[in-house]
Structures are given as C-alpha cells and as structure tokens.
Structure 1
Amino acid sequence: MKPAVDSPPPLTVRTVPVPDPGDLPARLPHPDALAWIHHGEGIVAWGQAARTTIPGGPDRFTRARAWLDDLFTTAHIDDPLGLPGTGPVAFGSFTFDPAAPGSVLIVPRHILGRRDGHAWLTTIGEPTGDPLTLAHPPTPPTGLRWSDGTLTAPAWQHAVATAVQRIRHGRLGKTVLARDLTVQAAQPIDPRVLLDRLTTRYPACFTFAVDGLIGATPELLIRRTGDHIDSLVLAGTLPRGATPADDHARAQRLLNSPKDRREHAYAADMVRDALTPLCADLHVPHQPEILTLPNVIHLASPVHGTLDKERSVLDVLAALHPTPAVCGTPTGPALDLIRELEAMDRGRYAGPVGWIDATGDGEWGIALRCAELDPADPTRARLFAGCGIVADSDPAAELAEAQAKFRPMREALQG
C-alpha cells in the first residue's frame, strides 16, 4: 500500500538570497507554522506544496524516502546557494510506535532560512504577493485550564513501580514511561507564540513545529551533512538546582550515579551498534559529559561519524529509531511494556521530528518537551514527558523528573 499522497508534481522551486530576517518565528505570517531553530538559526516555513501521510509499519522510512525521491527528482529547482536547507525541503514527524499510523511529511510553499551568515527564501509554485506579510498577528493563549491526561500522578507512579518489578524479574533492562497533561485555552493556540517563547528560553535546544506538534527538544537524533553525521545521546536526568553550587553538586551526583550511568550506557551502546554498520568511521565517547539546560541536567554523549556510502538522513533514522532513550532495551519487550502500562497513544511524541532537503541532508531530533494541538479543537493540547525506568528507579523521583520535563511547554503556554 502506498502512502496517502496529495502532491502536484512536478514542483517549481526557486531559492533566492535575502537580507538577514532577524527573529525567525516573528517572520511567520500564519499560524500554520513549520519550524526547526537552534541558537537562532534554522528554517521556518508555511503553506503546503505537497503532503503525505505514511502508514505504520517497519518500512515507513523507506516509503517516506521513496515519496520524496519521486517528488524532488522531478522538481524544477533553481537554487544558487546549494546549502543544507536550501531548495525544496520536507518537514516531517513520525509516530513513536512503528506500528502506529499518523506519520507525516509536508513540503511547504515558502521556506525562510538562516545559516552560517547566509539567509534565503525558497518559494515552491508561483509567487503570490509578499510571502512575508504578517497576515494574522499571533495572540498569546489565555484562560488556560489544566487537567490530568490519561493517568493521574498516583496511577502513573503505580505504573512505574510495576515496570521496576518487571525489570527486576529479568524481563528487560530498561523501559521508558511517559505521561500526558491536557490544557484547554480560551481561544485557538497559536504555535508562533510557543515557538517564540521556546527559542528565547531554550536556545540550545532544537525548537520545532510540524503539523501541530510544537516543542524544544534537547536530543539531536541525527544530522546528516554530506557524508558526515552527528548525534547527541541523552539519558540520565536530574532537575536543576536552586543555586550554582547546587547545580554542580547535582551534576556530580549524576555523573557518579550507577543508575543513571547504566541508563545512559544502554542508549549510547545502541546508537553505536546502529550506526557502526553505516559508517566508515564513528566516534562515541567512552564517558558521558554534562549538558545543563534551564530546567534539567542531562548525561550527554556527542557522536560523530562518516557514512560509508550515499545514504539519506531517512536511511539513518530507520536504523536509529526507537532508541533506548525513549523506548528501552531490549526494544521489543520495552515497547510491549510501554503499550501495556502507559494506557495511552503517544502519537508523535518521542518520535523523530525534523527536516530533509533534496540532497538527503537534514536534521532530526526526538520529539520531546513538546505539546500536540488537537486537530479537531485547536484550543486544546496534550503535553508529554517521559522517564527512563531501570531496576533501581524510584516512582516518586521519576514523577518529579517528569514534572521538570513538563516545564518548558507549561512556560511556553503560560508565558
């Protein structure tokens, strides 16, 4: 079965240099925003030149690449810059569960980008007026009402305790349990407001928006630039302290924690095992380092490699997802336990999110620290947070960690 496709090939694509656009979220003219921003650079986009919804299944990344190859190879492309992210680009978001439907790729009509001193505007199709005219100024959400999602806090702690018992009985080494919160606003939630607040407060994260999924993930799943790839493995977390001295003490505790080091090792080892067959050389550090964000402290391992042959970034995604950082290990038993204990559909939370261009370059993160707007009611959204569970996990501590991970999106909504 082919993906459901609504596209008008061949596409006509024109990229032109433009003056520095300044704040990228502020240039989005409509609420139907697409975005990928890191330290103020990246791409934002709007409109739809083509779109596909990809069925669940083990070959979904292959299907996605085939659809894009057909679309991009027939396109008429005028791209004098030839940089990653110029020319036609597809934004994508895949469901966490490989069997679940709902993964999407969108080729926007307008793409505004800034990278390494260059700025550009790509238009797909015939231009219609000034695409940067602010047609609908953003309005911050008001009248927010919060409620539990699928599980209450005590019920989720019980699920964590159950997972710990399963792990201690030898069924698996680690699983990752997520919970959700629901928010209701007085009027439709404008993604541009959330993007602006997230990029301001979390510039070191990768702020994204794809088809109503908005967030700021600290985890770079894969970046492909030519034959070079980069990844950032995060696993092992503590909330930030109240003072610099407290932060330092917590960082040292994290580095010396057998529980967190074991959780991190599961994720780093899996990334090494997944990427080694694809690479001519690969560097994975022997010891993790500390990554400090405004809300939490992570154990982090930056990974770098060179691909052994031409591979799209989607090919590398297929090898990596789902990682132990968002699923557990071994993958099969961990995924089965998630389906049993979470009692919810994660949708695209904890799935790959990012972009790919016509050369196969792209950047993809894991959709963490995010919210998903309700497509039937844009005044409603679900927020997600998850924690890695191992044999010595404490349910109360995991709940506190989840609360800290909700903070970026709560702040973005509340201002």
Structure 2
Amino acid sequence: MLHTKTSHIEEIIGEAIEKARHYTEPQLISVVDQIDYIDAYQFMDHGQVVDYHRLFWRSAEEDFTMVGVGTASKLFATSERRFKEVQSLWNEIREHAVIYNRYGEKGTGVVAIGGFSFDSKQKNASPWEAFPDSQMTIPAYLLTNKSGKSFLTTNVMIFPEDHQQQIVNQIADHHEKLLSLTDHDFQLPERTNTSEVAPELWKASVKEATDDIKKGLLEKVVLARELRISFSEPVQIAGVLKALAESQDNSYIFGFESEGDYFVGATPERLAKVDKRELISTCLAGTVPRGGTEEEDQHLGRDLLHDPKNRQEHQFVVEMIKEAVEACATNVDIPEEPVLYPLKNLQHLYTPVRATLDEGYTILDVIEKLHPTPALGGLPQQSSVEYIRHHETLNRGWYAGPIGWFDDHNNGEFAVAIRSALIQNDSASLFAGCGVVEDSDPQAEYEETAVKLKPMLSVLGGY
C-alpha cells in the first residue's frame, strides 16, 4: 500500500496502466483532495447524474458523514464464513492499492461501505433480491464531511487494456457533474396506503414463543413484523435521509441504493466502532416511549430502569457483548448499571463498552463475534436464529443485520440496521421487532413495535 502526496491524476493513471500491464492484473488507485464544503444531502441527490449506486452514512455522535457514488469495486461473500471472506477480499485489494492521500483523515481513501443480511442461511430472497447476503462497496467517488471540512476521494480500478486519456476525461466529466451542485428543496413522499402484515398472526407467534421459552427450548427470541406503505410517486431518497437526520439526531443515518431499491433508516444501535485500535461497542436493549411532558418522560424512564423484564433483556446483551469483546480485546471497561438513552420517540437502556483491540484483529472480526446480539436475535444465539428462521413470517434481509464501513487505516464502524425501511419505487416495507421472554405479553409487544415504527413513518408520509 503506497501513500504519496502526488495528486496529478493524469500521471497517476498513466503509471497505474503501466503497472496493470506489467503484472497483467487490475490496479486500484485512490486519490484524495480537500474541496470546498459540500452539503452531503445535495451531493447524494445529485449523485444520480453519475450513477444509481449510491451510499450514505452519518455518525450518531460526531460531525462525520460519507456519501458514495458509483463503484470502483464490490466485495461479495457467498459462504457462511462471509465476514472472513470479505476481509480476505479487502486485504487483497488493500495490499495492492496505490493511495494518494496526504490528509490521512478517517473515512477517506479506500473505504468500503455496505452491509450484511441478518441471516446468511435465509433462502427466501423476496423482497431483498437487490441486496445480496453481503455487499461492501468501494465507491468510485466518496464525499467525506468531517468537522466542517469536505474531502473527495476518487477510486478507480485500472485494467491493462484501459486508455489513459479516456479515463482522465471520464473522471473530469464526473467531477464536474458531481461538484456543480444547485441547491433545491427536497420533497418528502405522500403516503396513499398503509397495511399491517398479519398482525394477529404475529401476536400468536409471540404467544407461541413464550410457551417455547417456558418449555426451555430457548431463553429469549426477538420477533419482527412488517408494515407496508405506498406512495403517490417514487420516493426521492435524499429528502428522506435529510428528514431522518433532522428528526433523529442521536441515531446513525444510513441509505444504500442497489439495483433501484433503497434500504434506509435511523438506528440508535452501534454494533462496534474501531478508531486507532480503540474499540467501542454498545449495549442497547429495553425500550419505552418518550413522555408527552417532562414529568411523564421522567416517570417512564424511572420505570424502565427498574422494570425486571427490560433489565433482564438488557443484561442478556451486556453479558454477550462482554464475552465477544474479551475474545479479541484487552482493557475491557463496562459500567455496572445502565443509563437512559433518549431518542425523539423512544428511550432505551444503554451501557457503553470500551476496550483496546488486540493486534491482528479487525472490525470484521469483532462484528463476526457480536452478530447477532441478544437484542436482535435472542439467546442462545444459534438456537434463536434458527427459531427466527422457521417461525418469523418475514424475510429480514438486511433488516437487523450489520451495516457500516471500514477504511485502509483499519478504522471503521458498524451499526445494527433497525428503525429501517426497504423502499422499492413507490412502496416500502418497514420493520420492527421486540425481545420475547417467558412473561412477554403479545399485545404489549405489538404496541412496542408500533412505537419503534414511528421514526420511519414520520418521514414516509407522516404518523
């Protein structure tokens, strides 16, 4: 991996073509430039003039946003060892990449953005045909906004048969199109119909799960349900992302475009973050709504902190994440008691986890050990996932799966894809789940999922 301050694109491409011909294999080049500040949502919207494969990520806790347009390379995995397979593909690309990046900011240069499905063994593809089991994309063009500054990364896979001037002209044309932005107002979609998918059947599945838990078949299982909505016209994704960011400021905002479909959401749940080998994970489980007044809000929060069912659910997550983190990190620090994590519509029990990632491990190693946490699958891990596969009435696809990014400096962050929707032209499927234990009440769990659907409903045609 070569880092240099040279940024003359024509010279770089010429050298890459010579190298590709010499070794008779493709050569990835990556060039990073600092540019005048650009609004990420305008860039996301305008990116469709270049390519309809767009990617969006905004951090929940810092001024950090990435927008990818187009594809330099995609990392797919087809085996059950998908995280290791993607890591192996990434290592190969990273080893041979030539990177011109004098800034060294995280999220610039060679960055892969994307996600994984919840269950690699799920065979029913519908309605997720556009989203394979795993798909991490190295964008052709990547806007990184960090602490008020904008950086544009250009990633190009050079082949032996490529012509220098043709590549130079194409990049210049794409840069001009991407950076010639004109501000305009975004329109949110107008909803025309809403339908719940078999709510009574879902409640019956919750009751069946409580019976199975009492029989000792498993300790906990998370069951999700689906809400379908339609619109008067195709959804414009940039407006939805901007509205989510404005209304869910404590959440990760994500959007992935693939073959004309969008998977978007605002998730509060970090899975893991690695920044200069500092590992941070999050235990987020146990949920109640926000109150209509400050007094009611505080009352609901106090009840959540002392509710046996929610505390038990939260402790399941803490213990599992602790075990997973200790397997690949040292200096593990976990507070003894959770605190409240407030969002616009909900408040959760929250326990942070901090550690130092051991040498030789990457963020994908951590994700492999963590996914799925008891907050998204249940306990025991394997039994709960198998139970979901056979008893849940929907195909989760990327819902509740790990989504995020990593870069060539071994930084990265993944969240859990909840509070999300799969948008297909003028319709969408929204998903929400809840943790079922032996004393769960089906109606109460149904009402909890209704609250969890609100963040996405609020930007997809109102409540």
Q: TM-score, normalised by structure 2?
A: 0.83
SS in 2 for 1:144: strand
For structure 2, list consecutive stretches of 5 or more residues without a partner in the other structure: 1-24, 123-131, 157-170
1:133-148 → structure 2 map (5 Å cutoff):
133-134=180-181, 139-148=187-196
1:385-400 → structure 2 map (5 Å cutoff):
385-400=432-447
For 1:250 and 1:321, locate their aligned partners in 2 and report how far apart those are by CA, in whole Å. Answer: 30
Alignment correspondent of 1:355: 405
For 1:136 and 1:352, locate their aligned partners in 2 and report how far apart those are by CA, in whole Å. Answer: 33
The structure whose Rg is larger is 2
Alignment correspondent of 1:30: 47
One-letter amino acid of the structure 1 residue matched with residue 47 of structure 2: H
Shift of 1:177: 0.4
Shift of 1:223: 0.5
Alignment correspondent of 1:171: 217
Shift of 1:277: 1.6
For 1:383 and 1:214, locate their aligned partners in 2 and report how far apart those are by CA, in whole Å. Answer: 10
For 2:363 and 2:422, locate their aligned partners in 1 and report how far apart those are by CA, in whole Å. Answer: 24
One-letter amino acid of the structure 1 residue matched with residue 69 of structure 2: W
Deviations along 1:184-217, one digit per CA (max 9) or x if unpaired, are 2232222211101100001110001123211011
For 2:374 and 2:409, locate their aligned partners in 1 and report how far apart those are by CA, in whole Å. Answer: 29
Alignment correspondent of 2:354: 304
For 2:201 and 2:183, locate their aligned partners in 1 and report how far apart those are by CA, in whole Å. Answer: 42
1:176-191 → structure 2 map (5 Å cutoff):
176-191=222-237
2:454 to 386, 407, 411: 407
Alignment correspondent of 1:202: 248
Deviations along 1:96-139, one digit per CA (max 9) or x if unpaired, are 01324522111111111122354311112334242233499755
1:15-54 → structure 2 map (5 Å cutoff):
15-21=32-38, 23-28=39-44, 29-31=46-48, 32=52, 33-38=54-59, 40-54=63-77
SS in 2 for 1:263: helix
Shift of 1:144: 3.1
Structure 1 runs (4+) greater than 6 angstroms displaced = none
1:127/1:356 Cα in 2 relative to 1: closer, same or farther (>3 Å)? Answer: farther
1:58-69 → structure 2 map (5 Å cutoff):
59-69=81-91
The question of 1:83 aligning with 2:105 is answered yes
Shift of 1:283: 0.9
SS in 1 for 2:91: helix
SS in 2 for 1:180: strand
Alignment correspondent of 2:144: 113
One-letter amino acid of the structure 1 residue matched with residue 83 of structure 2: F
For 1:10 and 1:309, locate their aligned partners in 2 and report how far apart those are by CA, in whole Å. Answer: 28
For 2:205 and 2:430, locate their aligned partners in 1 and report how far apart those are by CA, in whole Å. Answer: 19
Alignment correspondent of 1:240: 290
The question of 1:280 aligning with 2:330 is answered yes
Alignment correspondent of 2:153: 122
Between the aligned residues of both structures, percent identity stands at 33
| Conserved 8 A contact 1:54-1:102 | yes
SS in 1 for 2:312: helix
Alignment correspondent of 2:376: 326
For 2:412 and 2:367, locate their aligned partners in 1 and report how far apart those are by CA, in whole Å. Answer: 11
Alignment correspondent of 2:316: 266
1:98 to 114, 120, 127: 120
For structure 1, list consecutive stretches of 5 or more residues without a partner in the other structure: 1-7
Alignment correspondent of 1:5: none
Question: Going by fraction, where is helix more abundant, 1 or 2?
Answer: 2
Shift of 1:40: 4.7
1:218-233 → structure 2 map (5 Å cutoff):
218-233=268-283
1:406/1:143 Cα in 2 relative to 1: closer, same or farther (>3 Å)? Answer: closer
For 1:140 and 1:42, locate their aligned partners in 2 and report how far apart those are by CA, in whole Å. Answer: 21
The question of 1:160 aligning with 2:206 is answered yes
Deviations along 1:60-117, one digit per CA (max 9) or x if unpaired, are 0011111112222222211111121011111111000132452211111111112235
Shift of 1:143: 4.5
| Conserved 8 A contact 1:24-1:40 | no
| Conserved 8 A contact 2:191-2:460 | no
Alignment correspondent of 1:365: 415
| Conserved 8 A contact 2:188-2:235 | yes
Alignment correspondent of 1:4: none
Alignment correspondent of 2:129: none
Shift of 1:276: 0.2
| Conserved 8 A contact 1:311-1:360 | no
SS in 2 for 1:385: strand
SS in 2 for 1:414: coil
SS in 1 for 2:179: coil
